[in-house]
Chains A and B, each alone.
Chain A
């Protein structure tokens, strides 16, 4: 095509090395209907390549690579956020703001940045919105396939490695994905609980899909009827023993540059320095669930206050061995007004105290003067 030639754009479909999950090795642009639909629709999984004679060394950084150098996009994609995740004795908390901005304009004030992948894993997104949306879909699919093939859930660290390997071919391109995987690792059959299970909608869905899975069926075969009401209490001895080398809460950060980090507290985005400040101050492993939720909310709230690209509402997720639980989205506008009211009250009180003090001092002075006069 003429435009393609002028731009020097090489259609990647001609250059894909033979690979099992890519379509149509002849690389033809024209496909029959049946081919189109049965082939993997994600043929863009292989990025544009040049000089890839064999399974090649993709020379994305070569000066002849046209896409990156010739034309600038005239529009911006969505960026800017505050997300955080941390572990503590009661599980994992994931929190994020809900503002999606695009170079000064807020494209969406109510976007959802925390997506559940399965009943025990949640991923917080940051970076380009379209990239995150799509890579999460791909990750969900791959994890589901793993679960069906190996009859156990992939661990958080495993998911992080998988995502990192999938993103590796795109290193150096414009794909910008920075996610935090927050979840609970555990072998379902080994963990037994004294109280019954509280099933969120997401957990139920997974259970239905796994009805053929024998390991899961055994764990579910004797549920207690009473609802679990102890999500706010500390974990008892049974659950504490399950937290060990291969079980327990985990957070992991994965970035499209290839970075993978594991830790106890992770915060991502333009508002993360502010969130880290609040988290470092308040985090302890022994926190209760309420304290942890409060801390996460406070961290996001302070970050939205100082960072222009974060704001609107805050979403909170709490993941335990029993699954994930979502708190209602909270509008931070109310919190700002409450904060202002509190500040006003404090100023009034201080004013009153100051006046009291002054009165007392005046009274004392008057007494002193009297006594002095008295002497003379």
Chain B
């Protein structure tokens, strides 16, 4: 049955609502940013970009998303910046409480378990934050724990989170996990190679993701401590 131009216009009106529209207040906002963590045999690297954006606007070019928790653990959080700030405040308070009660710092595994229960405590009004913890475990090996917004977590050897995570995760699977390749020699990852890989990966992410860019901050955790490095990225 042929639809004339007149009928087609009328039909379209059914799909385009041209009257007043009510928008509900949403307590969440998406502030962008990408976080990445890689664990090696005796090191862990947590990297994040430093752009804070909302919609089409950039609020800040110097807002890194890595937070140092202890001498052996760094937390990277991306998502809604308000929830990131509150969450890190709560975690730091709980770390202090643990240290005062137990006279030692929390280990990476313990921090991960604690973060899981903190996030699940808000199961019905979650923190809109994608967390990745990178650090050294009790034996000095690198550990990465990745979380979902309500507290489900697991230990990985590498993970990307945030706005460009869908682009970066397959690349990491291939380069670090040697997945989807045939007849390849599986060399363990060295610190220098990991650093270079992360820098390359973020440069690529900044090319294709509008919410990622400005600068890259790397926190390298080894048994000597935590070293920070900043590298510029695309500012457009």
Contacts and interface: CB of A to CB of B under 8 A. Distances in A.
Given A107-B148, A128-B150, 19 more contacts: A9-B125, A33-B97, A33-B100, A37-B101, A41-B117, A67-B125, A71-B28, A73-B128, A73-B149, A74-B28, A77-B150, A105-B166, A108-B154, A128-B152, A130-B120, A130-B123, A131-B123, A133-B151, A133-B153
Given A33-B97, A37-B97, A111-B154, A75 B149 contact: yes
A70 B24 contact: yes
B26 interface: yes
B152 A78 contact: yes
B128 to A, nearest CB: 7
Nearest to B180: A333
Contacts of B100: 33
A102 interface: yes
A331 to B, nearest CB: 11
A171 to B, nearest CB: 14
B8 interface: no
Contacts of A111: 154
Given A74-B128, A108-B154, A128-B150, A134 B25 contact: no
Interface in B1-36: 24-28, 30
* Band of interface residues on A: 35 or more
Contact of B124 (A37, A41, A48, A77): A48
A175 interface: yes
A258 interface: no
Nearest to A67: B124
B106 to A, nearest CB: 13
Contacts of B120: 44, 130, 134
A174 interface: yes
A73 B126 contact: yes
Given A37-B97, A174-B124, A71 B24 contact: yes
Interface in A73-100: 73-75, 77-78
Given A77-B150, A108-B154, A133-B152, A44 B27 contact: no
B28 A129 contact: no
Contacts of B123: 44, 130-131, 174-175
Contacts of A73: 28, 126, 128, 149
A70 B23 CA distance: 11
A129 B152 CA distance: 6
Given A43-B121, A73-B126, A130 B148 contact: yes
A47 B125 CA distance: 11
A201 interface: no
A77 B151 CA distance: 10
Interface residues of B, number: 28
Given A6-B25, A130-B150, A134-B151, A74 B124 contact: no
A174 B101 CA distance: 36
Interface of A: 3, 6-7, 9, 33-34, 36-37, 41-44, 47-48, 67, 70-75, 77-78, 102, 105, 107-108, 111, 128-134, 173-175
Given A33-B100, A48-B124, A175-B123, A71 B26 contact: yes
A12 to B, nearest CB: 8
B26 A130 contact: no
Contacts of A70: 24-25
Nearest to B153: A133
Contacts of B166: 105
A173 B126 CA distance: 14
B213 to A, nearest CB: 22
A213 to B, nearest CB: 28
B134 to A, nearest CB: 17
24 contacts: A7-B25, A7-B27, A7-B125, A43-B121, A48-B124, A67-B124, A70-B24, A70-B25, A71-B27, A71-B28, A72-B26, A73-B126, A77-B148, A77-B150, A78-B152, A108-B154, A130-B116, A130-B120, A131-B123, A131-B150, A132-B152, A133-B153, A134-B116, A134-B151
Q: Which of B28, B121, B124, B149 has the most CB of A within 10 A?
A: B124
B149 A77 contact: yes
Nearest to A107: B148
Contacts of A173: 124
Contacts of A132: 152
